[in-house]
Amino acid sequence: MDRKERIILDDILNGDKIFYRNISVDNVIFGYHERELKVLLFKNTSQEKWLLPGGYVKKDETLEKAAHRVVRYRTNLKKLHLHQFFAFSNPERNKNTHFTPELLTTITGQKVTTDHWLLDNFISVAFFTLVDYYEVKPTGSFYAEECQWWDITNLPEMAFDHREIIDQALLSLRFFSHVSPIGKEMLPEKFTIPELQSLYETILGKKLDNRNFVKKMTNIGLIEKLDEKRNIGKHRSPFLYRFNQARYDALAKGEEFIVF
């Protein structure tokens, strides 16, 4: 048995001493790429269904720290802003786990009964986070796993209630985008107005009026026009903009609201 296998074995057998019982975290990691909103999912190569990156919560850490640990592992990003949005608690939500007393007995070589901590139901506190698609290195864990981006409008079959968690995360993100600025994590430092508007339209799932959009963004002082243009073709060189950091931070604090 190698070191990694020993760690797994120890977690299965003694996890109830390290982790809270009945509580897990799940993460909806949103990226933005070519006008599509993406979610980072993984699956075991031997399984059919895809999963949200999640994990258990150590007894000496907060939910936030546990979620952060998971997202960091999956993305290889250090600077992350997680948003806790809902705790999912359907008593049936874990009933399709592939863990059984028999399987755990086989894995551990010790008699595992139905009261084992891994066989209990888990209430999952879910977080969403916005990341820079281009910075992420999708990472499966050390046993055979695939990890990749999926377009939110074209998701694969998901395990447990993870599809519901994604749907709820998208609603929360839309809600959030109405009251707080978004974009800093998902756009390059300099961007054109159409690029910014596309991001908002993709997240909100609807077209926005061009003129109102620019007016709104400019009036609240969220963006600054630069003395610089991008050449995207003959006769097409739109001005570049960037976020005003101070205004962005003030708006993120909820002192004012952006509404479309």
| Residues contributing to the site for a second copy (CB under 8 A) | 20-23, 57, 59-64, 84, 86-87, 89-91, 121, 123, 125, 171, 175, 178-179, 254, 257, 259
- For the bound state, the minimum distance from the C-beta of residue 167 to a second copy, rounded and expressed in Å, comes to 14
Contact (Cβ atoms closer than 8 angstroms) between residue 38 and residue 32: yes
For 6, 7, 134, the CA distances from 2, given in Å and listed in that order, are: 6, 9, 34
The tokens of 29 are what? 């990691």
Phi, psi of 120, deg, nearest 5: -70, 165
Q: Which is nearer to a second copy, 117 or 150 (CB)?
A: 117
- For the bound state, the minimum distance from the C-beta of residue 235 to a second copy, rounded and expressed in Å, comes to 38
- For the bound state, the minimum distance from the C-beta of residue 179 to a second copy, rounded and expressed in Å, comes to 6
Q: Which is nearer to a second copy, 73 or 257 (CB)?
A: 257
Q: Which is nearer to a second copy, 87 or 226 (CB)?
A: 87
Query: What are 28's strand-pairing partners?
Result: 128
- For the bound state, the minimum distance from the C-beta of residue 238 to a second copy, rounded and expressed in Å, comes to 29
Which residues of the chain form beta strands (DSSP E)? 19-33, 36-44, 54-58, 82-88, 123-130, 145-151, 223-229, 239-243
Q: Which is nearer to a second copy, 144 or 179 (CB)?
A: 179
